[in-house]
Amino acid sequence: MAYRHMPDMKTVLTAERLFTSTGILSAPILVIEDGRIVSVGSRTASEIPTGAREVAFADNILAPGFVDIHIHGGAGHDVMNADADALAAVERSLAARGVTSYFPTTVTAPLDATYIALERLAAAIETADMRLTRNGGLRAQPLGIHLEGPFISHAKRGVHPPQYLLEPSLEIFDRMWQAARGSVSVMTVAPELPNAENLIAEAARRGVCVSVGHSDATAEATLAGISAGARHATHTFNAMRALDHREPGIAGVVLSDDRLTAELICDGVHVRPELVKLWYRAKGPDHAVLVTDAISATGMGDGRYQLGGFEVEVRGDRCEYEGKLAGSVLALDQAVRNVMEFASIGLADAVRLATCNPARVAGVSGRKGALTEGADADIVVLSPRGDVVKTIVRGQGI
């Protein structure tokens, strides 16, 4: 089915509840026009505009569309190698799970291959609005790129190929920036590496959210990275120096320092539920971020799948390369339901971790991550238990 935008026609959505960035609105009326939210109110205080098309979602919930700031692929395709058709398949699979915006994430690879991937992803970002109106089904939109590597620690590299890891370099970062045509939004850096502070400062000056991760940093080195401009943490607990009561290391700083937001892969495989609860209690509803770290195998079955330039073995919920975890097959709507169970929180708080918080981290607040006047009409309709009923991207899909 093709989703066709109808300019100048107001559409009104009603439901049982609506999740705002600060609370819950009962009996909402949400008005959409030209792909944006025109107004948000309640049925007790607002009227449906004359001539508007009304779409009722009964006892369901209107929430902002999910935003995934760390994702490597899905539907059988890796974002570093995906052509236009393959990327479309990834984007359709994301939209089916409530994701309206995403940040395709690289994995460490030869520089020439990385530059080519960045150029391809930049083109996809630049043409996202045009591609949304084409036939072929509703699609999530890429908003920016997350560089995961090559400026990471050998000791905590995970499955990133060691031969392609590099010390932080302003020259190489600038070549990546140019290849991506300024579309780098997030970059993971190990703050203990030589010249890391200079790289962090320059990337932050260009508006990049620098994320500490894949790191064996001490607490002191992590704090130096924060002082240089880092403000986020990549998949908390995974590929990090372990927490110790005398040397808290990077994990201790991530949990305790409110200057950092902290992402987590909430699949029950990467982090045990007890530690998910600790993470949420430490970071709270404003600083915790859900991500998937999903790879090409997401939405597929067991087998061998691509991650950057190498193959990963997938069995059930585990993705492994040479015995190490290698991304996930997690979908963001499942992460929301998981964190409700693991951290003992309600759906409204869980949704914040997949919407307004990642949008703020990636610098797209105001446009994405909240159902407010003037924002893009990116909406996921949820059942009371958090199942995806419908996804709406820029007003399309209704």
- Domains with residue ranges and CATH for the chain: 1-65+370-398 (2.30.40.10), 66-368 (3.20.20.140)
pLDDT of residue 40: 95
Query: 3-class DSSP state for residue 59?
Result: coil
Contact 115, 150 (CB under 8 A): no
List strands edge to edge, sheet with 61-64. Answer: 24-26, 17-19, 61-64, 379-382, 388-392
pLDDT of residue 214: 98
Other beta carbons within 10 Å of 285: 14
Contact 168, 191 (CB under 8 A): no
pLDDT of residue 8: 57
Question: CA–CA separation, 377 vs 64, rounded Å?
Answer: 8
pLDDT of residue 378: 98
pLDDT of residue 133: 59
Query: 3-class DSSP state for residue 287?
Result: helix
Element (H, E) at 36: strand 36-42
* Residue at token pair 């699979």: 93
Written as one letter, the residue type at 376 is: D
Average pLDDT, the chain: 95
pLDDT of residue 120: 97
pLDDT of residue 80: 95
Per-residue pLDDT tens for 15-63? 999 998 788 999 999 999 999 999 999 988 777 887 889 999 999 999 9
Distance spanning both ends of the chain, measured CA to CA: 12
Q: Which sign does the torsion angle of CA 161, 163, 167, 171 carry?
A: negative
Q: Name residues of the chain where pLDDT drops below 70.
A: 1-8, 133-136
Question: CA–CA separation, 343 vs 364, rounded Å?
Answer: 27
Other beta carbons within 10 Å of 153: 23
Q: Catalytic residues, which ones?
A: 293
Question: CA–CA separation, 316 vs 334, rounded Å?
Answer: 15
* pTM exceeds 0.85: yes
Question: CA–CA separation, 359 vs 290, rounded Å?
Answer: 11
Other beta carbons within 10 Å of 111: 15
pLDDT of residue 2: 44
